[in-house]
Structure 1
Amino acid sequence: MTQRSGATPHPIPPAVQEAYGPGDLGSMSLFGGGFINFGYWQGIDLDRPLTEHDRITSQRAMYRHVLGALAPTEGLRVLEVGCGLGVGAAVALGEYGFAHVTGLDIHPQQLERAGRINADVLARRPEQLRFVPGAAEDMPFGDGEFDRLYSIEAAQHFRDLGAFAREVGRVLRPGGRVEVAGFFVPDADPARAGRLAELLDTFADGLDVAHTIPFLVGSLERAGLAGVRVTSIGASVWPGWDRWLAGMWEPGTWPRNFLRAYHEGSLDYFTVAAERPVA
């Protein structure tokens, strides 16, 4: 399989540049363990004080929830879009039997950190793990290069969700499958984006984009993917995330509004699965 050479460099939005460059979001105590996601808290007791171990466990559980849905995985090639520090890619390689794992990220500083954090794995298994620069909307890979593709809590940063969907359809082989996990507007109500900007600073400053589930589903279908399945997992995300935030942020401060937006119906957390049909 030859690598596609025509991928065009994409500008990094300023808020994304700051958060994942000088801001080094993954080093913040909100996250921990090198993961950068809100966590999948099912099975964690939220009625007691939460520990850093609980937080890291919740983030690893998000990866396991998504990767488990891609089974079978043994001996296959997988791409993570928006790999960040590469800790989740290492989980994919170490626990799911993939023959090869590729992590793609647009931010050069994140990829540099991923190389440092995963230096031992890269040294021991260089033929099985790599980190590649590139945009979700214009991936530098050959057609049909991957058997599986996943993206965890990165799509809210993609500026062109339609282009991302087209690239997913292109780089997956026939019969290949995709699983996207992240927070989206659950319906097509045009007022949702303004409301999220009122509630949440990350939507107001441009770090996050208020993509809708109907648009994502339609984009995947227009890209030729089939069997699109949408599942809300908000009940396993938002209460735990808010419980963790409660140790750092007062009620009424903007990060605590994620749970409020969920209760209002303006935002939810979903997994979205699809497959490329066999010709």
Structure 2
Amino acid sequence: MTHGSGTGRPTMTPAVQEAYGPSDLGSMPLFGGGFINFGYWQGIDLDRPLSEEDRVRSQQAMYRHVLAPLASVAEGPRAVEVGCGLGAGAAVAVRECGFAHVTGMDIHPEQLARAARRNADLLSHHPERLRFERGAAESMPFEDGAFDCLYSVEAAQHFRDLPAFTREAARVLRPGGRAVIASFFVPDGDPGRAGRLRGLLDTYASGLDVAHSVPALVGGLEDAGLTEVRVTSIGASVWPGWDRWLATMWEPGTWPRNFLRAFDEGSLDYYTVTAQRPAHATEL
């Protein structure tokens, strides 16, 4: 294959369409700063009242944590972010991390329009370093081997076809390229986990989030031909801080507070998963 397999128009589930359509989540206090992730709270004092600055800092820190393993892949690597949202993380990669070029891909046209507006200055002055393109994780509109690295932050829980995503991730990476996926997953293959999460969390009950397991993700990456797959739980640096922030807006017993409960009982965790395309790979 010499070109992207994404030939059709990307399609969204109604839940994804609604969640990221009319409302700009990145402008809400729950998120803020143009980022939409739960945050990496390591180094932030959770024993004092949290500020909006702390919240934005936690979300920036999530991207820095994810991008750090990619900096050595190449001199000024070319990257694709799968599920780029408002493009705040792509801007961090370009402005702070020395990426030569980042393509931010998202399935939602309204998110991409917002990303273009939010990053208008960077797009105008450095068009060679950042672009946004519509596409689905399961069918990316890119050439084979187009990127030195691929990363995805808190988007994989929305993907409907995880094996298709892992195949596409492997395809668009050049030989020697690297992928980092950060999101929340079921920690094991227990078939009862999905029902438990639907009972605890409205995002699973509505179909916005899918109860993918981390073993399924690892298996998909390996089946796609990627190697050196490494899984790291970062839940201890995510869930307590996220819950402390939620506590400023949500009462105990309300469903968003159940993220920490799901983690504490072992139904859900947050991971970074890294993988490598073999340097001498020819066909995947």
Give the SS at the match of 1:271.
Answer: strand
Partner of 2:126: 125
With structure 1 as the length reference, what TM-score do the two structures score?
A: 0.98
Partner of 2:15: 15
Partner of 2:232: 231
Q: 1:21-170 maps to which residues of 2 (within 5 A)?
A: 21-72=21-72, 74-170=75-171
Q: Judge conservation of contact 1:148–1:178 (CA < 8 Å) in 2.
A: yes
Assess, with a 3 A threshold, how the Cα gap between structure 1 residues 270 and 278 changes in structure 2: closer, same or farther. Answer: same
Provide structure 2 residue ranges, at least 5 long, that are not aligned to the other structure: none
Partner of 2:185: 184
Amino acid at match of 2:232: T
Q: Distance in 2 between matches of 1:114 and 1:241?
A: 24
Q: Judge conservation of contact 1:74–1:96 (CA < 8 Å) in 2.
A: no
Amino acid at match of 1:233: I
Q: Displacement of 1:6 after TM fit?
A: 4.8
Q: Distance in 2 between matches of 1:153 and 1:97?
A: 22
Assess, with a 3 A threshold, how the Cα gap between structure 1 residues 90 and 3 changes in structure 2: closer, same or farther. Answer: farther
Give the SS at the match of 1:148.
Answer: strand
Amino acid at match of 2:175: P
Q: Displacement of 1:55 after TM fit?
A: 0.0
Partner of 1:268: 269
Amino acid at match of 2:89: G
Deviations 1:49-82 (A, max 9, x none): 0000000000000000000121215421111000
Q: Distance in 2 between matches of 1:4 and 1:163?
A: 13
Provide structure 1 residue ranges, at least 5 long, that are not aligned to the other structure: none
Q: Distance in 1 between matches of 2:230 and 2:243?
A: 27
Deviations 1:105-127 (A, max 9, x none): 00000000000000000001011
Give the SS at the match of 1:116.
Answer: helix
Q: Judge conservation of contact 2:152–2:180 (CA < 8 Å) in 1.
A: yes
With structure 2 as the length reference, what TM-score do the two structures score?
A: 0.96
Q: Displacement of 1:27 after TM fit?
A: 2.1
Higher mean Cα deviation, 174-183 or 9-18?
9-18
Q: Displacement of 1:148 after TM fit?
A: 0.7
Amino acid at match of 1:202: T
Q: Displacement of 1:8 after TM fit?
A: 2.0
Q: Displacement of 1:3 after TM fit?
A: 5.5
The count of aligned residue pairs is 278
Amino acid at match of 1:15: A
Q: Distance in 2 between matches of 1:78 and 1:185?
A: 27
Q: Distance in 2 between matches of 1:241 and 1:133?
A: 29
Deviations 1:145-193 (A, max 9, x none): 0001100000000000100000001000000000000000000000000
Q: Judge conservation of contact 1:234–1:269 (CA < 8 Å) in 2.
A: yes
Identity of aligned residues (%): 74
Q: Judge conservation of contact 2:185–2:213 (CA < 8 Å) in 1.
A: yes
Q: Distance in 2 between matches of 1:135 and 1:5?
A: 10
Q: Distance in 1 between matches of 2:77 and 2:42?
A: 28
Q: Displacement of 1:5 after TM fit?
A: 6.9
Higher mean Cα deviation, 18-27 or 153-162?
18-27
Q: Displacement of 1:22 after TM fit?
A: 1.0
Q: Judge conservation of contact 2:71–2:99 (CA < 8 Å) in 1.
A: no
Q: Displacement of 1:128 after TM fit?
A: 1.0
Partner of 2:214: 213
Q: Distance in 2 between matches of 1:76 and 1:237?
A: 27
Give the SS at the match of 2:22.
Answer: coil
Q: Judge conservation of contact 1:136–1:164 (CA < 8 Å) in 2.
A: yes
Higher mean Cα deviation, 125-134 or 2-11?
2-11
CA-atom RMSD in angstroms: 1.1
